[in-house]
Amino acid sequence: MSTNRKKALIALSGGVDSAVAAALLKDRGFHVEGFYMKNGFPGKSETEARSAADKLGISLHVTDLTGPFRKEIVDYFVAEYLSGRTPNPCVLCNKKIKFFYLIKLAEQFGFDHVATGHYARIEDLGTKYGYRIRKGIDTKKDQSYFLSRLGQEELGKIIFPHGNSTKEEVKEMAAKIGFGSLVKKESQEICFIPNNYRDFLEKYSRESLPRPGNIVTVKGQTVGRHRGIHSVTIGQRKGLDISSDRPYYVLETRKDTNEVVVGRDEDQFFGGLIAKDISWVSPAYLSSKDIEARVHIRYRHRGVDSTIVKHTSDGEGNSALVTFEKPQKAVAPGQAVAFYQGDIVIGGGWIERGIKLD
């Protein structure tokens, strides 16, 4: 092997996206090796990842991350739901688990780059703090939202081979190189949730689940009962078991009174939100107090033009008031919020609460 040949360590899950991404890197002349992360939960198995690595003719490094995954992701996921919030474990996992340990191992073994099968692009402007995350060209599959907490240090090492490909093109490539069988085994939305999240909470909660309580309207009228504030999500309509001629939607959960607040469709709209623990892709944005951006309040949200006014009382600009140009439904505390300018991700944070603006 030539000493000038670049080395890339790719996260292999046993799925089609990572397998094809590894093949593409090999075609581009990289020396490629795989990295499989055990998280303590069934899913794409180590056997499938080894099979993909063998077919590609590459080595596979296996690391057991059950402990860190339980502490950083599972405990967070459970705690958020028990507090009546809506977590986004994939956004957190990319920052604290997947890319953290992938890069750590790459540095340990002298790899130049790390890679995954994400549908997103990285742009290098060639300047200080010049790395940018851009949306993948496949608008239906774009995963840049889940990468909004990554910064310059990570982006300087990452390659996303699928950024300029559509999912259909990846499927076609998979068939050509012998990975067609993986197309039928698409990953579930959250890798550690086998069936539904409510069953998961009952099994993995370290404390008692929230008790049943009242469902009340915005005016305080009791209209039903809930099984626990963890059992509903903001914007939910079905499964509330409320008799009414018009549907009710979940607007809010109140942990202190153990109430779920519901309202009509017109009550769901918010004029903005408070975002906390904001992470900027480039430190250059720390010097800007007001930022115009398109804000995505959940995955698959179409985004809304907004003004981001940073709060500097914490000295770091880590919180902000986000004002929407047009009111938005179902602003869920705990969800990730991502900020875009064009197709470029400039940062992201966590929704603290939605706010009604006059």
**Residue 350 in tokens:** 């966590």
CA distance 165 to 151: 23
DSSP H helical ranges for 60-209: 66-69, 75-82, 89-93, 99-109, 152-155, 167-176, 197-204
Contact 180, 126 (CB under 8 A): no
* 90 tagged catalytic: no
Taking each helix axis as running N to C, give the angle between helix 16-27 and helix 46-56, from 0 to 180 degrees, rounded to the nearest 10: 20
Q: How many helices (H) and strands (E) does the chain have?
A: 9, 17
Report the SS3 class of residue 331.
Answer: coil
**DSSP 8-state assignment for residue 211:** P
Active site residue 191: yes
Burial of 127 (0-12, 13-18, 19+ CB in 10 A): exposed
The Cα–Cα gap between 61 and 180 comes to 24
Whether the Cβ atoms of residue 118 and residue 138 lie closer than 8 Å to each other: no
| Among 93, 105, 170, 232, the one annotated catalytic | 93
- Choosing from 16, 92, 191, 281, the catalytic residue is 191
CA dist., res. 79 & res. 155, Å (int): 30
Q: How far apart (Å, rounded) are the C-alpha atoms in residues 91 and 93?
A: 6
Other beta carbons less than 10 A from residue 110's beta carbon: 8
Is 280 within 8 Å of 286 (Cβ atoms)?
Answer: yes
List residues with catalytic annotation: 93, 191
